[in-house]
Amino acid sequence: MGEAPAGPPPAKSGSKLIGKTHTHEQLAAGKLGYNYRVTWYLLYCVLWGGFVHITIGYDVGVAGGLFSKKSFLARFYPDFKGRNESPYCQYTSNDLAIYSFMLYPSMMIGCFVCGWVMRRFGRPLGIQLCGLFNIVGAIVQITAHNSSILLLGRAICGFGEGFGMFVYNIYLAEIAPTQIRGKVIGSSVIWSATGVTLGQLTNFLVKQRTDGWQIAISIIIVPASLLIFNSLFMLDTPVSLLMRGKKEAARHSLQKYRGVDDVEAELRDIEVSTINRISTRESFKLALTKRKYVPSLIINLAVYTLLNWTGNTAIVYYGPQIFSLLGMGANVALWNATLVGGAKILGVFIGMYLLDRRMTRRTLLAWGGVTQAAFLIATAIIFAVEVPNVKGAQVSKGIAALILVMIILYEICFMGGQHVGTLGLAAEVCPIEIRPAVFPINLLSYGAQSMAMSYSFTFQLCAMTWGTFLFMATFAILLTIWAIWFQPETHQVPIEKVRTVIAAHPVWKRFFPPEDVEEANRELEGSPVDSKPGSELELKRTSSDEEDERQKRAARPLAGATGLAL
């Protein structure tokens, strides 16, 4: 498809957030000799692999609308009548909260099992199992006769979605050329937003049918089946193949994904970063005892914690219920939720356009937080003034439309700014030797918080009323502050070189030895540096020693209980 340009023009606002910020031009992939062309095969893998997130997004989009279907409630939760003393408390139900909650524990288990599978059998099998478990889970749900079987099917779907969440972003990060990595990884958000919108639209289209909830759930079988079929034609990634001692297969894979024959420079860097992988126990020891790894751990936990509590997950799940409390009918509420899903897609495209062209990741994250907080605060004010906490309260169509606009703008800002801005963060900021530790810590933290939010949101809305939106806005503001002062800029920086950026950061450099900080600054400024190892366990052998070591390591089981060591 022709030679790709060396890279987009420098972002214009990436260096204005904090006093001293490097542009990292010396670490650009082009200067490191990384060659690539955008091929049809790469686009094929990105497109069909994206059905992982379409499947996950569709499931989330459908789940929220099920609570508005009388046939679904009559079959599984006949005792649910809703609470009428306050519009904010209509959907406060332990049973419904458990249905939303059930997805996350099984998703976390799926992530860990997927790590074991990927280590031994490669990335494509993880994608195939994602589709398989989603098909099985959907069949169990639509044939269920009681809530226990329904929840079992929900858990099976969650298990499969755990596979998908784990494998797909890693797969994308490993096949994407460094020069366009942000946009390739960002495509996962497009598929996720598309899936959510399709799920909400399906709820609206089948709203009048008594078997509408079964139709809505069963449609997930279609993208899951397409995912399985097309993954059969996806090559394993160079990183995965090198980790299993298959250097020639890795070279062929890299040539296929890059569309060029000369991939030796990039293959060498990948080989250096994978040859000395370590066990999960050793990884945890490094992550928790070595000061220079503290920034990577803190960055992951802080960003995903703040991102989670800005409330997007709750709004996706409970969008129809939020609109229902305004006095809208179930049909109008479902349609409005569909419009919000469409706003998610629009936000992703806006963010993808801005990312690496007009703004760097850090700048995009900051501006996304500012605008998101503004619309959440505006929503809280409208609720406080126009939606009284009394039985039977309703609002005018004009106020309802205004709230819809605020939530749509919020979604555009969240998806285009904060979500796109944090894609691939975990893989980028963690050196390979601590990924087996940081990834599971991150998953446990994020999963536990998602469970808490999905279960507690309706109770929080009942207790805090309009203050719930101020609660979300607080975390959006905190995330903005984080982006300005604490977030390293990884714009156009190869994953293998991000450690240099962190070591030179004004805040995080204090965790590194002085000699590492000096070396990082020299490298960013383009000065010659000593051939000193870039990580705790980087290559220190001759070429012949390297080959012997690879053969020894390939003969024993791969270490790392989670498979997160890329």
Q: Where are the domains of the chain?
A: 25-498
On whether the CB atoms of residues 27 and 494 are closer than 8 A, the answer is yes
Here the tokens at position 187 are 């495509």
Here the tokens at position 469 are 């939106």
On whether the CB atoms of residues 376 and 476 are closer than 8 A, the answer is yes
Please identify which residue in the block is written with the tokens 């929900």: 154
- pLDDT at position 516 is 81
- pLDDT tens for residues 16-52? 443 334 445 545 444 555 778 888 999 998 888 778 8
Q: 359 - beta bridge partners?
A: 355
Nearest to 362 by CA among 512, 481, 476: 481
- pLDDT at position 83 is 56
Report how far residue 449's alpha carbon sits from residue 244's, in angstroms, rounded to the nearest whole number: 34
On whether the CB atoms of residues 439 and 339 are closer than 8 A, the answer is no
Half-sphere exposure (CA, 13 Å, Cβ side) for 165? 25
Within the chain, which residues score under 50 in pLDDT?
1-23, 26, 28-30, 529, 531-566
Q: Is 535 left (phi over 0), alpha (psi -120 to 50) or beta?
A: beta
Select the CATH number that applies to the domain covering 25-498 from these four: 3.20.20.140, 1.10.287.3510, 1.20.1250.20, 1.10.3720.10. 1.20.1250.20
- pLDDT at position 132 is 95
- pLDDT at position 275 is 66
On whether the CB atoms of residues 390 and 90 are closer than 8 A, the answer is no
- pLDDT at position 349 is 84
Q: Collapsing DSSP states into helix, strand and coil, what is residue 37?
A: strand
- pLDDT at position 427 is 63
Q: Which long-range contacts (CB under 8 A, 24 or more apart) does 328-331 make?
A: 328/400, 330/68, 330/207, 331/204, 331/207
Nearest to 62 by CA among 161, 145, 183: 161
Neighbour count for residue 313 (Cβ, 10 Å): 19
- pLDDT at position 185 is 74
On whether the CB atoms of residues 475 and 254 are closer than 8 A, the answer is no
* pTM over cut 0.85: no
- pLDDT tens for residues 417-438? 877 767 666 667 777 777 767 7
- pLDDT at position 277 is 64
In 449-561, at which residue ranges do the beta strands (DSSP E only) sit? none
Percent of all residues in the chain with a pLDDT value above 90, rounded to a whole number: 14
Q: Collapsing DSSP states into helix, strand and coil, what is residue 1?
A: coil
Based on its alpha-carbon atoms, the radius of gyration of the chain, rounded to whole angstroms, reads 24
